[in-house]
Amino acid sequence: MRRIMFFAIAVLFMLFPLTGTRGQETKSQDVKPTEQETKTQDVESTKIKDDREIRTLSGHSNPVWSVAFSPDGSKLASGSDDKTIKIWSVSDGSEIRTLSGHSSFVHSVAFSPDGTKLASGSADKTIKIWSVEGL
């Protein structure tokens, strides 16, 4: 369970960096930010203040090695040593589905850009592509 929390935290830090300056250049003092830049800065300030855990997802029987958010952010996929992939609802933390088929632990999971497929890589030397449309 500690590993899933570690990976979830790592993913959250990638999505919500602690500072709002990543990739932004500093501006000279005499240039006013645009309205869009002001809105972006406000959102980033909110992210900095909101550093609490949102939820813990439990359900795998062995360590979790990989997690991935769906492109729309509504689902999370996790791959585990228990040879399964679980699909979770981000909004309420419920398990939507368990995908079984690998004969060894699952090292990686990734959604397709349109969110209709999920790829999983395993120590069984296979990559499986799953249909997750409509979940």
pLDDT-derived band at 54, boundaries 50, 70, 90: confident
In this structure, what token pair is assigned to residue 27? 């501006």
**pTM given for the model:** 0.63
User: How high does pLDDT run on average in the chain?
Assistant: 78
CA angle 100, 102, 103 (to 5 degrees): 120
Distances (CA, A) of 126 to 93, 97, 101, 104: 29, 21, 10, 9
Q: Give one word for 98, left, alpha or beta, with left for phi > 0 and alpha for psi -120 to 50.
A: beta
Q: Which residues contact 38 (CB under 8 A, 6 or more apart)?
A: none
Greater model confidence, 71 or 49: 71
Q: What is the pLDDT of residue 46?
A: 42
Q: What is the pLDDT of residue 51?
A: 74
pLDDT at residue 109 greater than cutoff 50: yes
pLDDT at residue 31 greater than cutoff 70: no
The domains located in the chain, with CATH, are 1-16+34-135 (2.130.10.10)
Rg, Å, the chain Cα set:
18
Span 92-105, mean pLDDT? 96
Span 107-124, mean pLDDT? 97
